[in-house]
Amino acid sequence: MAKITNFTDNFTVPTMIRLNNDTPTDVLQNVKVGTMVTDTFSKTGMVESMETHDDGYHKIYTFELVTGRTITIKK
């Protein structure tokens, strides 16, 4: 029987990304479906879908969570 000496060798712990107006653009662009995110206030969950568009003044990132909530960031 194999002995496990390091519990973390067998899986990766998902990281949670904080999304707010201070989040760097490269981090916002690298968020994928399935990523755990939070706005550090009341919206926390896994990303179900995301959308990016430009209104001429801001680039707007919209993240729909599996919980039904939406996090919107303007950069």
pLDDT tens-digit map of 3-53: 555 555 565 666 899 999 999 999 999 999 999 999 988 899 999 999 999
- pTM, two decimal places: 0.78
39/18 Cα distance (integer angstroms): 6
Cα atoms in the Cβ-side hemisphere of radius 13 Å centred on 24: 3
Report DSSP state, residue 5: S
**Which stretches within the chain are classed as H helix?**
25-29
Domain borders along the chain are: 13-74
The per-residue pLDDT for 71 is 96
Residue 74 reports pLDDT greater than 60: yes
* Contact yes or no for 74/59 (Cβ under 8 A): yes
Token readout for 59 is: 């680039």
* Contact yes or no for 56/74 (Cβ under 8 A): no
The per-residue pLDDT for 29 is 93
The per-residue pLDDT for 40 is 83
The per-residue pLDDT for 9 is 57
